[in-house]
Structure formats: C-alpha cells, structure tokens
Amino acid sequence: MKFLKLISTPLVAAGLALAVTASPVSAKTYRFATNVSADGNAGLQIQQFVDAVKDRTEGRVEFELFINGQLGDQLQYFQQIQRGVVDAGLVNSAALENIIPAFGVVNLPYVFRTSEEYGSVMTDDRVREALFNAAEKHKFWPLGFLSSGFRSIYTTMPLESFEDLKGKKLRTMSSPTYIEMLKLFGAVPTPLPFGEVYSGMQQGIVDGAEGGLAGLYSAKFGEVAKYALETNQTRLSDFIVTSIRFKESLSEEDHQAVVEEFEKISLASIVFADENEASDLQKAVDEMGVTVIKMDTAPFIEAVSPMYEAALNDADKKELIETIFEIENREF
C-alpha cells in the first residue's frame, strides 16, 4: 500500500510522465535496394549516406543494403517501394521516365555538355519541382539525385567514327529515350538487364553497350570490351526514392536528418563521379588493355536533333526543356 501511495504523489507522477516523454524512439532497420555493386560510384556514395544517417540519428534509422539486384531489377524493386514493401532504393532517370515523362528531358542526349551545366540544372528549384511534383501521386517520395559520370559507348571491336556504329548491336536500358537515341546513331538498340551485359558481350549477343566507362573496370566489362569510345552523350542521374510509408514513419528530427545527410552526398556526387570515372577508366587502360578512342561528337549531336523537335512539341516536356536551356544560357 505504501508503494501505491508513493507513485500517486504529484512529484513522482510528474517524474514518471517526464521519463515516458523522454524515452528514446525505438530503432528500426529499413530495406534499401540497389542493382549496383558496393564498390561502384553509386554504391560507395549510398554507403556514405547510410553510415551518416545511422550516426546522425544515433541508430534510430538504419538501412540494410541489398546490392547487385538482390531484390530484382530497378523496376521490380521500385514497384515494391510504391507498395511500401521496400523502404528505399536507387532508381535511375531512364526507369523513372516510364512513369513521369518529365524525366525523359534529363535523359536527352547532349542536354548536358559539361559537368558545370549538369550541376546548375540539377540543383535548380524549378527543375527539381518539375521532376518531383508528381511523385506522391505515384506513391513514392524522392530524396534527390546522385550523379553518375557521362555515358559513352564501349565495344568488343574497334570503331573510329559515327559511321562505324551503323548496324552494331548495343546494349541499352529499357528507356524510350535511350532506344531512340541509339537508333538515330545508326546502331541496333538491344535492351538487356545490367547483370547480363558482360555475358551478352562475351557471347556476341551484343557488340558493346552504352554506359559509364568506369564500368569497364568496376564491372570488369573491360575483360571483353577493349574499346572505349568517348562520346559523352548523356549524364544519367540516379535518384534515391523512398516509400511514402518510410517518410511517414520518421520523426520530424529524423526526417530532417535523412534529408540533410542526403543533400550533402548529392552535392558532392558530381565531383565524386567525375574523379572516379577518370580513375577507373585509366585502370581499365593500364590493367585490362582497354583502348580509348576520342570521337568527334558533332555528327552524334546532329543525329539526335529530331528528339528535341519531338520533345518541344510534347506538353509534358516543353517547359522543362526551355527552363534547362535558360539555365545553361544556350540553345541546342
């Protein structure tokens, strides 16, 4: 009875209430899916983000990483993110354009011709709004972008000019923009999952692929593709997206921590990607015998002009293209 009397006193009751209020938010582990390797550009940056969030939230928000397509390809695990089964994942702009047409604009070949142009555009509030304003309608929440380096072409045979691409089977992503681009280059676009690129080149299913030249070293593509054609046609953006359920599960403090820590990684990703792209390409040259061929990009740029004419006649894309050119202070 004395115990009951003790806890009923105002001072003790207030202390108990304070203890309950101050009790820490329970820690939770969230599922984070990617189709990239842990030691590639995107994989390294994601690990930095995951570590920073865990430290910043004192372990309340922790991610379990599923790399190399363990939870399927990007479209497969993106659907799981939309359903709230997977909490977060890396989805590139080529995959997202199948859902939100505006993403097709940042996929257009030669819309970015320098890293500086890319940085100015991707951090502009008008561009971010145009890309993300429909996200919640499609049941996902975007954190922001991670920059990859410029994408070029690598092949199993030596090619020296635009004309040499005619009839060559090149692996690409299942993106209408990328498929159309390769057709205009005169190549035969051949969509394949990323995990099948090596065997596809090895078995002659494709003659090469379009992609980041860092992959020649980091994904060992240089073992079968000995020629790197510097065409720099696109700068694919990887986006980190999360489920609506993930966003709603966070406290205000932890939500702010997640956003701020990703912003740091995002802004640094442009320089990070460029430095790692150059470093890995040089390793492919030195260790795998890859030959770098600098291509004249003028015929490539001229070839894709119909894509801009079509996009400017598309109500979902016209305003964003005009905004990008205004930021870049140029015309195509």
Bridge partners of residue 65, in order along the sequence: 32
Q: Which two tokens stand for residue 230?
A: 């510097």
**pLDDT over 50 (residue 233):** yes
**pLDDT reported for residue 242:** 97
**pLDDT reported for residue 8:** 40
- Residue 280 near residue 73, CB atoms below 8 Å: no
pLDDT band at 25 (very low <50, low <70, confident <90, very high): low
- What percent of the chain has pLDDT above 70? 92
Q: Which fold has domain 28-328?
A: D-Maltodextrin-Binding Protein; domain 2 (3.40.190)
Helical H segments across 24-90, by residue range: 41-56, 74-83
CA distance 38 to 58: 24
pTM for the complete prediction?
A: 0.81
**3-class SS of residue 292:** strand
**Backbone phi and psi for residue 32, each to the nearest 5 degrees, phi listed first:** -125, 115
CA distance 234 to 220: 21
- Residue 36 near residue 68, CB atoms below 8 Å: yes
* Greatest mean pLDDT range, 57-61, 103-107, 276-280: 57-61
**pLDDT over 60 (residue 19):** no
